[in-house]
Amino acid sequence: MSPPPRTTVAEEALPAAPPARPRPATRRPVLEGPLTRGAGLAGATCLLGLCVLASLAYGSVEMSWGTVVAAFTAFDGSNEHIIVRELRVPRTLIGLGVGAALALAGALMQGVTRNPLAEPGVLGINAGAALAVVLAIFLLGVTSAGAYVWFAFAGAAAAAVVVYALGSAGRDGATPVKLALAGTVLAALLSSFTSAILVLDVDSLDQFRFWVVGSLAGRDMGVLVDVLPFLAVGIVIALAAGRALNAMSLGEDVARSLGQRVALTRVVVAVAVVLLAGASVAAAGPIAFVGLAVPHAVRIVVGTDWRWVLAYCAVAGPILLLGADILGRVMVRPAELEVGIVTALVGGPVFIALARRRRLASL
């Protein structure tokens, strides 16, 4: 029988290895099962309806909900009825479309790149729209919000095309990392051009600063009509992309083995992001945190099934944007804070709180 192994003094002095810590379990979503998630979506839709009514009723001129209803059922030409129909209805409808578009665009980008920090600004869309608006003001003397729409949309679309062309160069094609890097570089370049023009021309700066802060005020039905086709097509494509994003979340190799055409999915999602983000920036200016924070909050509620995530984003985005717009109207009445400022003030701390949750970044 062989003797037991001898241990040295140094080995005896070594502390025992600590027990391995168990890996933190993945957080379960708040709502599970199709019936529960469907009921939650119905509840969120009802909350959105209340936000719409509040957006029509509250502002620098506060009025009862009965007056709001009477503005549509018994219009008498009074100032209150004119305010509701001519000012607050277009503002509310644009808020609905822009909120849904920003949230869906952010969710699509996070899903296709598997990057939890992805949002429309990563592709340089905001920077492209801003430069186009500045050039329109500086060179053509454009001053109205309705005229900004087409220039902003053209700039956003051109920036997205350039980013995709740069990110597609090389053997690997358009990978998520290359697209993010190309978008970051282009955004920095376009922002420097924008700043140079604004420094040289004070009048352009005065006009531009009211647009760049992000606002729903001063927009009429003409702005909504201009961007509505792009919003509608983008929203339809986004809601139909849930199954493809579910396959891509398993990895590109697995998605291909399941018959998913990964390259085509990326192109279709990129088109939807351009339509959604470009139209929203054109209509309301660059508004921060909606496309970044809403998808994170939705995933906490419904999990990572992208079909439900996209459906909830289409409702939660307008709730956040309209809620921020209402808050901006009543905080400093009779003046108001622009919605872009309110979303930054509210969305920043909310996103920090969400980011501190464990397992948040896993997509």
Whether the per-residue pLDDT at 184 is higher than 80: the answer is yes
| Amino acid identity at 219 | R
Q: Which domain holds residue 153?
A: 89-355
Looking at residue 236, what is its pLDDT?
96
What string of DSSP letters covers 276-299?
Answer: HHHHHHHHH----SHHHHHHHHHH
When pLDDT is averaged across residues 91-100 and rounded to a whole number, the result is 94
Whether the per-residue pLDDT at 19 is higher than 70: the answer is no
When pLDDT is averaged across residues 161-180 and rounded to a whole number, the result is 76
More confident residue, 71 or 212: 71
Q: What is the CATH number of the domain that holds 169?
A: 1.10.3470.10
Q: At what angle are helices 34-57 and 306-331 packed, to 10 degrees? A: 20
Q: Where residue 48 falls among pLDDT bands split at 50, 70, 90?
A: very high
> Would 74 be classed as within a structural domain?
no
* pTM, full prediction: 0.84
Q: Where residue 362 falls among pLDDT bands split at 50, 70, 90?
A: low
> Would 28 be classed as within a structural domain?
no
Q: Taking all residues of the chain, what is their mean pLDDT, rounded to a whole number?
A: 82
Q: Is 331 helix (H, G, I), strand (E, B) or coil?
A: helix
Least confident range of 138-147, 188-197, 324-333: 138-147
> Would 42 be classed as within a structural domain?
no
How many CB atoms are closer than 10 A to CB 47? Answer: 14
Looking at residue 142, what is its pLDDT?
78
For residue 126, which of 273, 338, 318, 313 has the smallest C-alpha distance? 273
> Would 47 be classed as within a structural domain?
no
| Amino acid identity at 303 | G
Q: What is the phi/psi pair of residue 130, to 5°?
A: -65, -45
> Would 78 be classed as within a structural domain?
no
Q: Is 1 helix (H, G, I), strand (E, B) or coil?
A: coil
| Cα radius of gyration (the chain) | 24
Whether the per-residue pLDDT at 361 is higher than 60: the answer is no
- Break the chain down into helix, strand, coil percent, rounded to 5: 75, 0, 25
**Span 70-81, pLDDT tens digits:** 888 888 888 888
Q: Using the structure block, give the residue that is written with the tokens 């400093």.
A: 332
> How many domains is the chain partitioned into structurally?
1
> Would 317 be classed as within a structural domain?
yes
Percentage of residues in the chain having pLDDT higher than 70: 86
> Would 303 be classed as within a structural domain?
yes
Whether the per-residue pLDDT at 125 is higher than 50: the answer is yes
| Amino acid identity at 10 | A
> Would 29 be classed as within a structural domain?
no
